[in-house]
Chain A
């Protein structure tokens, strides 16, 4: 039933090869272009509340009036504790919680990463729901110092005031836990790990617990009067909270409280194409790095939906508006009948009320990965992947297909069967697998060394990883026989791209942005081939590869935040040890090896042009 194609594709292989090349380039171009289309009205959607039980903004919020005086009093208290050690702070806060008739617990923790030590003491209180059975809880968290290490005066004071205020209401159906974490990065992680009994010996267990946590709101409010609310939502490893939680917060603060909301530090969002794109790209960078953007990030890997509400700017809103917003969000969370599940878990936000869901944006990352895979298939089909047989010219010339023999029938059947050029898989496979195993070395080194020596080690590592592929390709070129040489590099590229494409498409289902950005940086690998006849082209390829290497990406990230590379590496090491952040593994064990294989192929052209090998 096979279709008879008028052109025999096996004999006109170049048609297939060009088609594949066009397809793979086309896939990448379409993938990139479709990402740029996303902010348009036709592709993005307005957000909407999917879970009807939430009823955001349907209740009147009563926080204000005399409660504000209590907040101010607590603020004075926090100010006076300002620079005390964390156990003094914890003791005092515990006292305040106890005076409000709440069950109180404290927890010490200490983490070690990149030669530094991170210790502190969290304090928390549980309000048992008058109408609940302690199977579910919601969390209000305020870090003592926020992510920029500024004393979170207003946030802590507001949390303390709200704990007294909430205690008076009889309508709670879920327990409320008030957490004052010692800092914004390690503290929440220690607390949430211990809450689920998944902590190490460096973290104390929790003495008081409640039910399954349904939602978390973090208050980050260091200043006085403020202009707008900044909603932060990125979790560790690029996981996101359910979109309903963000929508609830946005709807309550904008429509009920008249508070402007900002996303991704876009303080002046005009809802134009440019601003939408910028918001989306900033969100993607945060997601790709997979780091913590606030105390909420640590909760998200436990499938707990969490956001941080941070105040921004100078304006006329005060603790009353923020308190009412938090109160209203908590009333909505209190309404939840089951865990957040209705709305999206995979989305890109481009304005507080505009988003694209996974179905719309996933194809762009997938197409980039598909482009790499198609290139790998093309390289495999290409007759240049086969080594010429060394014997003699008797063996057919038109044999692009295995098992084919000359029509003349001069040759004895036994010797011709399955003869002809074969793919030699051993060396290319060893190169690719070896490169991936070598990825463990930088990963281990950067996670175990001290912060002080990080910069030096990093520069040494750049030099090594620039020189090492060149040396290796020289070695391979000099030791491999001429007819096997080009096919070896050809197949090494094929396997490397196949693996990269496969990994990126898998990654795209878990962390879209990381997959997309690595895919983008890896595009030159599609064209990185040995060009023994043209040294300038090889030089160009080599430079292009250097510019899109993992190191270049690291410098770009460092420049984006105005930090040194050693700070980024320190953050990565901290992320691995404290948060369980996977980004360094992916960079060093997936991306870097693929890049090394690309470099080996390109650099081989220099050695070949010197030794005049592989020019035929």
Chain B
């Protein structure tokens, strides 16, 4: 890490410290925003669970708290002051930034064993990628509002950083932790396996079959250990239904930026089970396709999946988009090939402004209704989907140009 990286991290940490201390009411205000806090990540609900937990009641009684038990033990050993909590969240963001710097320094985004991008020299320096994460308004707002998605994001980034350095153990222990905390990172197992395999030491590389089997066993056993630990902590298996059950079955229909809540409010109960399965399967079907098509660039397959999860998961928030955007920044060499950058940036800004305005009209002013906010979450999701699609186009184009350099600069027409 060079001096510029340290400077960027320092400024990023300072900015968060200033926001926490200069505006003491800001965390509470932001924590109430449905765009930032969801039922499965909200800090307010975490406090409720923590209160019950420290008073010897099962934290899942009352049906408010839906987060993993290990988070409770983390917060219960923490001194009960706002400052230490804030510092923990800042530390998490700092660690994310460090992981991003490691990912960027490894240059896996542009150079993999089976693909070398012709644009490999146009990559931004690592400090710029850290800055893109640390000064992204979405990640700042997420850090200040203190939802637990911050920890999931940090751990996912840490796991990717370990993977690009070929350190299988830390990578999959972390991924197991991320999956344990918020379920959906489990979908990243396959691309992460590919990244790790690509980046592991060429001399002592086992065959892909043994590698996958060993990794799967490692991942599963670590995950089981986490679950058993949680069982010991809370004294029952109740937490499984209250955490993963909630993510899978969507009993809480609080509005968020995703596509599920409105759909399931409107739905007749007889169709609910069918569409729940459909929506969950829909997320899953992207994994094989993405990993197959992008097998030469597994890190990008992983990024794309993070983007898809951030759109289609059951309780998404802007924190998920922040993770995707910061991973996308690692692939900045393909930005010149993206076709709609300005349009997409403008549209995402529009949605960011209109979302709170329409929520205000619906909930506070009473002059709008739920359709207003839902319309804007649709726009938000479409824009995010377009970003994923446009980045995918750019990467495929980049790959295509490596294979057929004579076609550089020619128009591509789909027939």
Give me the interface of A with B, judged by CB distance under 8 Å: 1-2, 4, 239, 303, 339, 341, 345-346, 373, 376-377, 380, 402-405, 413-414, 417-418, 498-499, 502-503, 505-507, 509-510
Contacts and interface: CB of A to CB of B under 8 A. Distances in A.
B277 interface: no
B118 A413 contact: yes
Contacts of A404: 409
9 contacts: A1-B415, A2-B414, A376-B346, A377-B342, A380-B342, A414-B121, A417-B118, A418-B337, A509-B361
A405 B409 contact: yes
B346 A502 contact: yes
A509 B361 CA distance: 8
Contacts, number: 67
Nearest to A344: B367
Interface of B: 118-119, 121-122, 336-337, 342-343, 346, 349-350, 353-354, 357-358, 360-361, 364-367, 405, 408-409, 413-415
Given A403-B336, A510-B365, 7 more contacts: A303-B365, A413-B408, A498-B346, A502-B350, A506-B357, A507-B357, A509-B361
Contacts of A239: 365, 367
Contacts of A507: 357
Nearest to A373: B346
A37 B404 CA distance: 59
B122 A418 contact: yes
Contacts of A510: 357, 360-361, 365
Nearest to A507: B357
A418 B119 contact: yes
Contacts of A373: 346
Contact of A502 (B121, B349, B360): B349
Contacts of B413: 2, 4
B357 A403 contact: no
Nearest to B346: A498
B366 A403 contact: no
Contacts of B414: 1-2
A97 to B, nearest CB: 31
B119 A417 contact: yes
Contacts of B409: 403-405
B181 to A, nearest CB: 34
Nearest to A403: B409
Contacts of B360: 510
Nearest to B338: A402
A530 B215 CA distance: 61
B379 to A, nearest CB: 12
Given A403-B408, A417-B122, A346 B346 contact: no
A417 B342 contact: no
Nearest to A499: B349
Given A405-B408, A413-B408, A498-B346, A345 B118 contact: no
Contacts of B354: 505-506, 509
Nearest to A401: B409
A374 to B, nearest CB: 11
A345 B408 contact: no
A234 to B, nearest CB: 15
A510 B357 CA distance: 7
A309 to B, nearest CB: 23
Nearest to A396: B409
Nearest to A300: B365
Contacts of B122: 417-418
Nearest to B117: A417
Most B C-beta atoms less than 10 A away, residue of A341, A505, A506: A506
Nearest to A4: B413
A418 B110 CA distance: 15
Contacts of A413: 118, 405, 408
A417 B408 contact: yes
A414 to B, nearest CB: 7
Nearest to A242: B367
Contacts of B408: 403, 405, 413, 417
Contacts of A502: 346, 349-350, 353
A468 to B, nearest CB: 25
7 closest cross-chain pairs (CB), A and B: A345-B367, A418-B336, A506-B353, A303-B366, A404-B409, A402-B336, A506-B357
B26 to A, nearest CB: 15
Contacts of A499: 349
